[in-house]
């Protein structure tokens, strides 16, 4: 049996996988199954947050830790992927981290407190984080050069479709059973995935001996991300910097961030090589990739929240509202392979951001009278835009890096996307809460007896309660009107957030033309 040399996404120059005995499709299933279900469990958790909060008697803000701790664990482990792969071997690496993810899922399902659930999600994140880049690397190494576009399309299909299906899956679970089944479903999949990896994935020969790990840089990274996340998640609850310990944590986070950058730039063997940002393609591609993730997740988080809190939808329906995105993603993934091969990738990226901007603008036209069908068209456009950006950027972001820097580049690119996603998930709910207060204050100022419209409205509403005393009728009418005011102020907050992200999408349109398309290496 022969092998060939191949440079992968997460490693240096390594032999290509031996695939003569195992069909490519079986290798693809073996590595994409655990990755896909990890994405499914992550996005399914979003719609389950109100149920989890109610189950443990906590606030929604406290329950949001279940989401963000997973993303932070992802971000922390991703820079270690290349080192761990070389140290453990690719097959053992996959089996260990799939097992860790499965154990985390079991702990989540058995959790008797919110803190225990957070610990379970932390372990899930440790197991799930490295699976993404390693799966991408194995998939690329398994396909011949002329079918790399198909490989990336297949990877995109697994990641995007299962991420988007998550809210529908989670909504179905919490509406018809217990939220614990979101995590119990991962256990048999995890066990089966370990068996598939053991049977179908071949170990690479002549692995590169790993360097000594940068524990100082890794420690600074952990301190920065954890302290930043606590500030973002708890800041709104404790009125931000009016709280002494929040202010201290913010200072620690800033110090750790600066120290991390300085150390990584000066250390001879950094955990992530920040100098790769000098490469224009990598710098711009990372901005574009992180921005796509931000737009995806802000809509996945906020749209179900809007439909549940303001429209009275159940979890199933709020998740189902994202379903049209799945179908447009599938259609585009069937078309994107040839498009990437024959069309200028920069044009695809520009068109993708245009679709993302249009779809997010349509989200900004939300109102309290919309029908369920309103979500269909913007989600279709969102699915088209996501694929048009995601696939070309995934290919171009590393396309101009030296082969020796592919591992560092892939890890740093994934790290940036995870950090920005965690940041957006935390800040989106905070922005809605803050902006809602601003709009509420403005609207309350108009609830005055000197306001003719207000007088007409309150007298008209009080007429519905005329069977009671006039004072009671006016009191009930005032309460009902104030309730409508709260709903309207929250609606305006959602609109503001969607408009902001639409603006980001439109601003990034010309950046696609700044990327350089490298010449294809046919060897």
At residue 354, the pLDDT reads: 93
* Cα–Cα distance for residue pair 348/336, rounded to 1 Å: 9
pLDDT at 517 over 60: yes
Pair (306, 260) in one structural domain? no
Q: Buried b / exposed e across 193-232, counting CB within 10 Å, b at 16+? A: bbebbeebbbebeebeeeeeebeebbebbbbbbbbbbbbb
Instruction: Report the domain count for the chain.
Output: 3
Per-residue DSSP letters for 52-76?
A: HHHHHT--HHHHTHHHHHHHHHHHH
CB 168 within 8 Å of CB 316:
yes
pLDDT at 402 over 80: no
Once rounded to an integer, what is the mean pLDDT over residues 436-458?
63
pLDDT at 396 over 70: yes
Mean of per-residue pLDDT scores for the chain: 77
CA–CA–CA angle 93, 293, 106 (5° rounding): 45
Pair (169, 305) in one structural domain? no
At residue 358, the pLDDT reads: 92
The residue that leads in pLDDT, 12 or 188, is 188
Tokens 């058995």 label which residue? Answer: 110
Query: Which pair of tokens denotes residue 426?
Result: 């935390």
Once rounded to an integer, what is the mean pLDDT over residues 131-137?
74
Facing residues of 5 across strands?
A: 15
At residue 404, the pLDDT reads: 64
Once rounded to an integer, what is the mean pLDDT over residues 427-432?
79
Pair (150, 218) in one structural domain? no
Single residue among 233, 252, 270 that ends a domain in this structure: 270
Range of the domain at 261: 214-270
Confidence at 4, pLDDT banded by 50, 70, 90 = very low
Single residue among 212, 234, 250 that ends a domain in this structure: 212
Pair (176, 238) in one structural domain? no
Pair (101, 6) in one structural domain? yes
Pair (218, 205) in one structural domain? no
At residue 140, the pLDDT reads: 67
Instruction: Please give the helix or strand (H or E) that residue 306 lies within, else none.
Output: helix 280-309
pLDDT at 430 over 60: yes
Pair (342, 455) in one structural domain? yes
At residue 17, the pLDDT reads: 42
The residue among 279, 282, 347 whose CA lies nearest residue 509 is 347
* Cα–Cα distance for residue pair 270/265, rounded to 1 Å: 8
pLDDT at 23 over 50: yes
CB 474 within 8 Å of CB 462:
yes
CATH number of the domain bearing residue 55: 1.20.1250.20
At residue 206, the pLDDT reads: 60
Per-residue model confidence as pLDDT tens digits over 312-341:
777 777 777 777 887 888 888 778 777 877
pLDDT at 510 over 60: yes
* Cα–Cα distance for residue pair 354/508, rounded to 1 Å: 9
pLDDT at 506 over 90: yes
Pair (289, 265) in one structural domain? no
Pair (174, 235) in one structural domain? no
Per-residue model confidence as pLDDT tens digits over 219-239:
888 888 888 878 877 777 777
Pair (207, 219) in one structural domain? no
Per-residue model confidence as pLDDT tens digits over 45-99:
877 887 888 888 877 777 777 887 887 887 788 777 777 777 777 778 888 888 9
Per-residue model confidence as pLDDT tens digits over 460-474:
555 555 545 455 455
Instruction: Please give the helix or strand (H or E) that residue 318 lies within, else none.
Output: helix 315-320
At residue 401, the pLDDT reads: 73
* Cα–Cα distance for residue pair 241/238, rounded to 1 Å: 8
Per-residue model confidence as pLDDT tens digits over 236-248:
777 777 788 888 9
At residue 464, the pLDDT reads: 52
Query: Which pair of tokens denotes residue 64?
Result: 């949001």
Percent of the chain scoring above 70 in pLDDT: 80
At residue 11, the pLDDT reads: 42
Q: What is the CA radius of gyration of the chain?
A: 25
Backbone angles phi, psi at 383, to 5 degrees: -60, -40
Crossing angle for the helix pair 345-363 and 470-507, to the nearest 10 degrees: 170
* Cα–Cα distance for residue pair 75/302, rounded to 1 Å: 22
User: CB neighbours of 214 closer than 8 A, spacing ≥ 6?
Assistant: 264, 267, 269, 270, 271
Query: Which pair of tokens denotes residue 455?
Result: 């007088």
Helix and strand numbers (H, E) in the chain are 20, 2
Single residue among 238, 270, 302 that ends a domain in this structure: 270
Pair (285, 262) in one structural domain? no
Confidence at 451, pLDDT banded by 50, 70, 90 = low
Pair (494, 400) in one structural domain? yes
User: CB neighbours of 130 closer than 8 A, spacing ≥ 6?
Assistant: 77, 78, 80, 81, 84, 93, 97
At residue 13, the pLDDT reads: 40
């Amino acid at each position: 049996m022969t092998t060939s040399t191949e440079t992968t996404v997460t490693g240096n120059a390594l032999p290509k996988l031996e695939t003569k005995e195992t069909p490519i499709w079986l290798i693809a299933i073996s590595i994409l199954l655990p990755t896909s279900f990890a994405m499914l469990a992550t996005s399914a958790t979003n719609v389950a947050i109100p149920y989890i909060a109610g189950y443990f008697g906590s606030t929604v803000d406290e329950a949001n830790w279940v989401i963000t701790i997973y993303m932070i664990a992802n971000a922390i482990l991703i820079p270690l992927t290349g080192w761990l792969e070389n140290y453990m071997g690719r097959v053992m690496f996959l089996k260990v981290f799939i097992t860790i993810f499965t154990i985390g899922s079991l702990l989540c399902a058995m959790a008797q407190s919110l803190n225990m659930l957070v610990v379970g999600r932390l372990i899930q994140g440790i197991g799930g984080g490295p699976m993404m880049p390693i799966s991408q690397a194995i998939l690329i190494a398994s396909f011949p050069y002329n079918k790399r576009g198909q490989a990336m399309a297949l990877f995109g299909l697994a990641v995007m479709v299962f991420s988007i299906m998550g809210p529908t899956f989670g909504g179905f679970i919490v509406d018809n059973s217990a939220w614990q089944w979101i995590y119990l479903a991962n256990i048999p999949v995890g066990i089966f995935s370990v068996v598939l990896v053991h049977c179908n994935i071949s170990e690479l020969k002549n692995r590169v001996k790993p360097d000594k790990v940068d524990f100082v840089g890794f420690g600074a990274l952990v301190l920065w991300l954890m302290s930043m996340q606590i500030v973002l998640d708890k800041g709104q609850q404790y009125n931000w910097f009016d709280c002494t310990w929040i202010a201290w944590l913010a200072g620690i986070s800033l110090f750790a961030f600066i120290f991390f950058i300085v150390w990584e730039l000066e250390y001879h063997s950094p955990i992530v090589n920040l100098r790769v940002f000098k490469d224009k393609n990598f710098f711009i591609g990372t901005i574009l990739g992180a921005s796509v993730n931000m737009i995806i997740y802000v809509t996945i988080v906020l749209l179900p929240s809007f439909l549940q809190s303001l429209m009275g939808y159940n979890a199933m329906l709020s998740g189902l509202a994202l379903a049209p995105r799945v179908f447009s993603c599938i259609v585009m993934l069937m078309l994107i392979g040839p498009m990437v091969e024959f069309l200028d990738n920069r044009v695809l990226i520009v068109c993708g951001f245009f679709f993302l901007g249009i779809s997010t603008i349509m989200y900004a036209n939300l109102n309290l009278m919309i029908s369920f069908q309103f979500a269909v068209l913007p989600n279709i456009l969102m699915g088209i835009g996501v694929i048009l950006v995601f696939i070309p950027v995934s290919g171009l972001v590393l396309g101009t890096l030296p082969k020796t820097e592919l591992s560092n580049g892939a890890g740093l690119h994934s790290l940036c996307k995870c950090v920005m996603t965690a940041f957006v998930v935390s800040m989106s709910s905070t922005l809605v809460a803050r902006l809602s207060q601003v709009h509420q204050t403005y609207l309350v100022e108009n609830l005055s007896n000197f306001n003719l419209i207000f007088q007409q409205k309150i007298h008209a509403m009080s007429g519905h309660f005329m069977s009671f005393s006039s004072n009671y009728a006016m009191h009930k009418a005032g309460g009902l009107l104030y309730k409508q005011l709260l709903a309207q102020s929250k609606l305006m907050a959602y609109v503001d957030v969607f408009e902001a992200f639409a603006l980001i999408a439109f601003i990034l349109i010309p950046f696609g033309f700044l990327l350089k398309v490298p010449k294809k290496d046919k060897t």
